[in-house]
Amino acid sequence: MEKILINGGIPLRGEVSISGAKNAVVAIIPATILAQDVCRIENIPNISDVSMMIRILQQLGAGIKMINKNTLEIDTSTINSYTVSHSLTRHLRASYYLLGALLGRYSCARVAMPGGCDFGVRPIDLHIKGFELLGASVSIEENAMIDARADVLTGSPIYLDQVSVGATINVMLAAVKAKGLTVIENAAKEPHIVDLANFLNSMGADIRGAGTDVIKIRGVDVLHGCTYSIIPDQIEAGTYMVAAAATGGRVLVNNVIPKHLESITAKLIESGVHIEEYDDSVLVEAVGRPKHCNIKTMPHPGFPTDMQPQISVLLSIADGTSIVSEGVWDNRFRYVEQLIRMGASISVDGKLAVIQGVETLKGAPIKADDLRAGAAMLIAGLCAKGTTEIENIIHIDRGYEDVVEKFRLLGADISRVTVENPSQIANIV
Ligand code: EPZ
């Protein structure tokens, strides 16, 4: 087991290149199942969630060829199973996309309940409702296997009671080869929804309206292989932007789509950070101490919940009091306990955090509770005075490619070391 060591207090300077989007690729890899052909996917981030998804496809019988570190060829013509066991799904929330993809291909899927980050109850009732409206019967067996099967999948209007990224994607996957027209209303609009629709359309699907709250999917009989490049990761970009601001640095964040970053950029500007946007990069420059501001997380194009822990670190050293309201998940402030250990002044009441900015954070032994909490711990360690040790970095590796190397290139004093006694720090909190 490894941990990350940071000697903080160094302003980040230089350029960083953003990798492909995790939440797009974890939908696009299962989507290749629908092609029964060879797909070449480029700009794949080298992260553990991708390795896990690849393992699942291999177990199903797919042929995977690694062309280089970020390009894969996936041959799904050889898939010979529609069952995915608990041992494969328990670490990965996105494993639920296997349900939609296998159902779309075989009209039958058996997939164990997904794992993933723990921030409260994570229901999948809307996914199930969507499958049922397409004509599938869905049951959850005693061993937490979800069984979905249909004689024939038929397009249908589907209103999602709540905006859900996962349900929108799963319905798209199941509906793309169904008979007739599916209309998803109150669909999620995140950039990765659009990326998945573009990918499916490159395979011959007929999907319109992705990126708006009404998505129309006209079922086609056959999909074919294609070559596709994943969009840059909005949240990885936002994480480096906030890290630059929090350390008092100046960083050019390359390979981004600035439009996807608008809500993050707006809040950084509000807290006094200087931002310049270019075609595919943004320059982030801290100007003095950050100012307080209020944040409410919402589905896209609102401020992303997946940036809430990171921006809260910036606000914890800002001038004044900020209020952060979590509008998506029930329990996404667990990481606050770690920041308090570093000297932050934050009180949490349910889905609300009141952050009283302090002059500086102090290095401490801390742990990553989940992926974005882990990203927040990195930023906290980078701007804190003294040494920070972060345990449970397995969460960070799920979603950030070469994170230590990228921060080191920006001048950070950061390294990965082997932990001899991992329980020591984990037990402190
Ligand atoms: C996706 O999770 C992302 N994961 C999450 O990113 C992200 O936090 C989340 O969307 C919101 O943007 C992936 O893309 C793999 P939802 P997902 O369905 O799809 C409720 C990260 O750090 N809901 O949009 O699971 C749910 O409880 C991760 O990269 C239902 O009530 O999220 C939540 O309150 C973590 N019933 C809200 O909808 C359902 O059937 C939004 O959830 C489904 C969801």
Contact 111, 84 (CB under 8 A): yes
Residue 395 CB less than 6 A away from ligand 1: no
Distance from the CA of 355 to the center of ligand 1, in angstroms?
25
In this predicted structure, what is the pLDDT of residue 142? Answer: 81
Pocket test residue of 19, 129, 165 for ligand 1, highest count of atoms within 8 A of CB: 165
Burial class (CB in 10 A: 0-12, 13-18, 19+), 132: middle
Distance from the CA of 184 to the center of ligand 1, in angstroms?
17
In the beta sheet, which residues pair with residue 74?
39, 64
**Vertex 155 angle, CA 153 and 157, to 5°:** 135
Residue that is written with structure tokens 């996962």 in the block: 166
Residue 124 CB less than 6 A away from ligand 1: yes
Residue 203 CB less than 6 A away from ligand 1: no
Distance CA 117, CA 208 (A): 31
Q: Which residue, among 208, 167, 178, 211, has the nearest Cα to 192 in the 3D structure?
A: 211
- Cβ neighbours, 10 Å, residue 82: 22
Shortest-distance Cα residue to atom 42 of ligand 1: 164
In this predicted structure, what is the pLDDT of residue 1? Answer: 87
Contact 160, 187 (CB under 8 A): yes
Record the pTM. 0.96
**Mapping DSSP to helix (H, G, I), strand (E, B) and coil, where does residue 43 land?**
coil
Distance from the CA of 11 to the center of ligand 1, in angstroms?
33
Instruction: List for the chain the helix, strand, coil content (%; round to 5).
Output: 35, 30, 40
Shortest-distance Cα residue to atom 19 of ligand 1: 166
Residue 129 CB less than 6 A away from ligand 1: no
Residue type, 245: A
DSSP 343: T
**Mapping DSSP to helix (H, G, I), strand (E, B) and coil, where does residue 396 land?**
helix
Residue 94 CB less than 6 A away from ligand 1: yes
Helices 234-246 and 371-383: crossing angle, nearest 10°?
Answer: 20
Which tens digit of pLDDT belongs to each residue from 236-254? 999 999 999 999 999 999 9
Shortest-distance Cα residue to atom 13 of ligand 1: 23
Write out the two tokens for 231.
């969009």
Distance CA 349, CA 269 (A): 27
Atom of ligand 1 nearest to the CA of 128: 40
Which tens digit of pLDDT belongs to each residue from 273-291? 999 999 999 999 999 999 9
Distance from the CA of 421 to the center of ligand 1, in angstroms?
34
Distance CA 93, CA 96 (A): 6
Distance from the CA of 326 to the center of ligand 1, in angstroms?
13
CA distances from 70 to 22, 58, 65, 67, 280 (A): 12, 18, 11, 8, 19
Distance from the CA of 293 to the center of ligand 1, in angstroms?
25
Residue 167 CB less than 6 A away from ligand 1: yes
CATH of 22-229 given 3.30.590.20, 3.40.309.10, 3.90.420.10, 3.65.10.10: 3.65.10.10
Contact 342, 364 (CB under 8 A): yes
Residue type, 95: S
Distance from the CA of 165 to the center of ligand 1, in angstroms?
6
- Cβ neighbours, 10 Å, residue 280: 13
Residue 97 CB less than 6 A away from ligand 1: no
Residue 93 CB less than 6 A away from ligand 1: yes
Pocket test residue of 23, 163, 334 for ligand 1, highest count of atoms within 8 A of CB: 23
Annotation marks residue 293 as catalytic:
no
Architecture of the domain spanning 2-18+232-428: Alpha-beta prism (3.65)
Q: Which residue, among 421, 429, 408, has the nearest Cα to 3 in the 3D structure?
A: 421
Which of these is catalytic: 117, 226, 293, 383?
117
In the chain, where are the structural domains located?
2-18+232-428, 22-229
In this predicted structure, what is the pLDDT of residue 58? Answer: 96
Atom of ligand 1 nearest to the CA of 372: 22
Residues 6+ apart with CB under 8 A from 226: 35, 39, 40, 199, 202, 203
Residue 371 CB less than 6 A away from ligand 1: yes
Contact 408, 6 (CB under 8 A): no
Residue 26 CB less than 6 A away from ligand 1: yes
Atom of ligand 1 nearest to the CA of 328: 34
What's the chain's length in residues? Answer: 429
Shortest-distance Cα residue to atom 26 of ligand 1: 122
For the chain (429 residues), the mean pLDDT of every run of 10, in chain order, is: 96 98 98 97 97 96 96 97 89 92 97 75 91 96 91 98 97 98 98 98 98 98 97 98 98 98 98 98 97 98 98 98 97 96 98 98 96 98 98 96 98 93 45
Distance from the CA of 424 to the center of ligand 1, in angstroms?
32
Shortest-distance Cα residue to atom 4 of ligand 1: 23
Residue 303 CB less than 6 A away from ligand 1: no
In the beta sheet, which residues pair with residue 58?
none
